[in-house]
């Protein structure tokens, strides 16, 4: 089952990348707010579905796992408040990600954003050495394979920055001729995906802390199931989606194309489904389901599929130097997916 879930998450998250890029217009300075609204709406609809399903399905073990993942939740307001900071951090990262899509090729931004796991691993490894029972119950180890993975990710991202920054302008324009979008050199364009990377890594740390604080002899918060965690994330996104709409309506005074931009809502649909099955695989890993750790490797490869979709549907063309640095980054991500505990 973990393999099927991993493939679904892989396809959906790469599809979300593609349609987020399609739905984000270069000339629309409020497109990031519109993306938050659209994704929040899709997340909110599924949240309502799971509340209804949770009232009908009393025991998730009584139905197939696939059905439970899509239609069940044990959401409570107490659990929501516990998970709220983590959900907010993840969504804040996505907010910056949507901003960045206006300024840089998806082929470049997606591998950078997807590298957040390497930073999360380093931070969680450091935190896990603190003297607390929950950390002993949830140890993080870094073998030489994980260290190599982190180094490759760092080298790949830094090299990608150099390649992008020092590329000859004439060559840049030439390779962008077949694309329907043109991008100029910009430090900001590269900085925004890096900001996403940092913030998203903090979300990973938050997930680890919740697991640690709910286990061990010093546990002081209740355990949160995959269903409650995902529903809390969706409810948070719904709230922020409403806030985004109010900002657009009354502050920005810009609701143009808000309801007829199909790309945004398709992206929201794929993001929602991908999140559901990612959470399911992550909890399988944490529960020790045999072989499920490989699922995280499969999911981590979604940025590679995003690069493929970008080439096919967006006609993005990068130089061989770009692709080389992306491959280095991708290899590092896969190594971390195979050997890390985060």
Q: Is the pTM of this model over 0.85?
A: yes
* Residues above pLDDT 70, as percent of the chain: 90
In this predicted structure, what is the pLDDT of residue 80? 97
pLDDT higher than threshold 90 for residue 95: yes
Q: Please state the rounded mean pLDDT for residues 173-179.
A: 62
Tokens coding 329: 């980054």
Which residue in this structure is represented by tokens 């709220």?
84
Question: Can you give the residue range of the structural domain that contains 119?
Answer: 2-339
Distance between CA atoms of residues 296 and 336, nearest Å: 9
* DSSP letter string, 15-31: HHHHHHHHHS-TT-TTH
pLDDT higher than threshold 70 for residue 288: no
pLDDT higher than threshold 80 for residue 290: no
pLDDT higher than threshold 70 for residue 185: no
| Secondary structure, 3-state, 102-166 | CCCCHHHHHHHHCCHHHHHHHHHHHHCCCCCHHHHHCCCCCCHHHHHHHHHHHHHHHHHHHHHHH
- Residue 294: pLDDT band (50, 70, 90) is low
Average pLDDT, the chain: 87
Least confident piece of the model among 3-7, 249-253, 330-334: 330-334
pLDDT higher than threshold 90 for residue 270: yes
Which of these, 150, 87, 83, 88, lies nearest to 115 by C-alpha position? 150
Distance between CA atoms of residues 123 and 149, nearest Å: 15
Tally of structural domains, the chain:
1
In this predicted structure, what is the pLDDT of residue 184? 52
Q: pLDDT digits over 110-169, tens only? A: 888 888 888 888 898 899 889 888 888 877 777 888 888 888 888 888 888 778 767 666
Q: pLDDT digits over 35-66, tens only? A: 999 999 999 999 999 999 999 999 999 999 89
């Amino acid at each position: 089952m973990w393999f099927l879930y991993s493939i679904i998450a892989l396809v959906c998250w790469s599809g979300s990348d593609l349609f987020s890029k399609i739905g984000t217009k270069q000339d629309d300075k409020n497109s990031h707010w519109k993306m938050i609204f659209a994704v929040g709406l899709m997340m909110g609809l599924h949240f309502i579905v799971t509340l209804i399903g949770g009232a009908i399905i009393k025991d998730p073990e009584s139905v197939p796992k696939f059905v439970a993942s899509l239609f069940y939740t044990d959401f409570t307001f107490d659990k929501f408040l516990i998970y709220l900071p983590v959900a907010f951090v993840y969504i804040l990262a996505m907010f910056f990600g949507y901003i960045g899509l206006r300024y840089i090729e998806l082929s470049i931004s997606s591998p950078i954003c997807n590298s957040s796991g390497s930073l999360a691993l380093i931070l969680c490894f450091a935190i896990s050495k603190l003297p607390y029972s929950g950390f002993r119950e949830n140890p993080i180890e870094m073998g030489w394979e994980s260290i190599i993975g982190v180094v490759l990710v760092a080298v790949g991202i830094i090299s990608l920055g150099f390649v992008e920054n020092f590329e000859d302008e004439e060559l840049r324009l030439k390779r962008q001729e077949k694309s329907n979008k043109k991008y100029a050199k910009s430090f900001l364009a590269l900085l925004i995906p890096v900001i996403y990377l940092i913030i998203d890594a903090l979300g990973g740390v938050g997930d680890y802390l919740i697991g640690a604080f709910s286990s061990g002899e010093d546990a002081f918060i209740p355990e949160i199931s995959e269903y409650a965690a995902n529903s809390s994330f969706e409810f948070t996104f719904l709230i922020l989606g409403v806030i985004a709409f109010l900002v657009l309506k009354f502050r920005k005074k810009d609701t143009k194309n808000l309801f007829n931009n199909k790309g945004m809502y398709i992206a929201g649909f794929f993001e929602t489904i991908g999140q559901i099955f990612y959470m399911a695989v992550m909890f399988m890993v944490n529960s020790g389901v045999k072989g499920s750790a490989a699922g995280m490797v499969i999911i981590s490869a979604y940025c590679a599929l995003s690069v493929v979709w970008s080439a096919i549907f967006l006609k993005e063309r990068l130089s061989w130097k770009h692709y080389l640095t992306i491959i280095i980054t991708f290899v590092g991500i896969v190594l971390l997916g195979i050997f890390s505990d985060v």
